[in-house]
Amino acid sequence: MTPPEAPGQQSETALRADAERNRERILAAARRLYATEGLGVSMASVAREAGVGKATLSRRFATREDLINAVFADRMDGYATATAEALADPDPWHGFTRYIEAVCAMQAADRGFADVLVMTFPTAEALEARRAESYQGFLELITRAKTTGHLRADFVAEDLVVLLMANAGVIAATGHDAPETWRRLVGQMLRAYATPDAPLPPLPEAPPPTDLDRAMTRFGRPATNEL
């Protein structure tokens, strides 16, 4: 039989369990807030959402980057997996288009992750290591896709960064009223990257004008039908 814990040991065990519960509550609260509001959420807001004090939050996560690193570790794993799956595709052009769609879909599913992909966090070492790994894989994917003759010769890795920044903006502006708008952006951008004879997935439909007008109004610009 396991000997019973001494009173001091019981107290220490209870404290460890309480600390772990607080950590999980903080992570769950941060995931909820980041997913719906982006990374602009304050640490104080995360503490309130988790139902803990600022001091408790600071003990678990000393900096904002520590918290972001913990929250998005699994998302960055998914990002790296998308790169590996694209490289494993026997058709490099299909792998390229599949990768672009997959990463942009990950952005659309989580506004916080949309922000993470277009920002750097120097002290979040695990996060940045996974980003660097994925970036190197994407460079190889570009080279392979160009050999098919379907990816334009002037496409460069920075074009992906521009797309992710644009997609993050579209998601922020239309996520409430026209949440599928990002698909149209990605479809159009793939056509911009492709050579004239490249096979492409069907172009997603444009958002309904009324939905886009509401999104524009909500985003702080006057709705208009004129471009």
Identify the domain containing residue 64 by its residue range: 11-71
Pair 57, 80 in one domain? no
We report the CATH number of the domain holding residue 92 as: 1.10.357
Split at pLDDT 50, 70, 90, the class of 193 is very high
Examine the pLDDT at 5 and tell me if it is beyond 70: no
Assess contact for 47 and 56: CB atoms under 8 A: yes
Output the domain CATH number for residue 48.
1.10.10.60
Q: Is the pLDDT of residue 170 over 50?
A: yes
Average pLDDT rounded to a whole number, residues 130-137: 87
What is the rounded distance in angstroms from the CA atom of residue 39 to the CA atom of residue 16?
29
Tell me the pLDDT of the chain averaged across its residues.
87
Helix pair angle (64-71, 73-88), 10° resolution = 50
Domain membership flag for residue 46: yes
Say whether both 205 and 99 belong to one domain: yes
* 81 and 159 belong to one structural domain: yes
Q: What is the pLDDT of residues 47-93, one digit of tens each?
A: 999 999 999 999 899 988 889 988 888 888 888 899 999 999 999 99
- Do 94 and 194 lie in one domain? The reply is yes
**6 domain-assigned:** no
**Res 14: pLDDT:** 64
Mean pLDDT of 175-192: 95
Q: Which of 71, 90, 113 is the last residue of a domain?
A: 71
151 and 209 in a single domain? The answer is: yes
Lowest-pLDDT choice from 12-16, 78-82, 193-197: 12-16
Confidence of residue 3 (pLDDT cuts 50, 70, 90): low
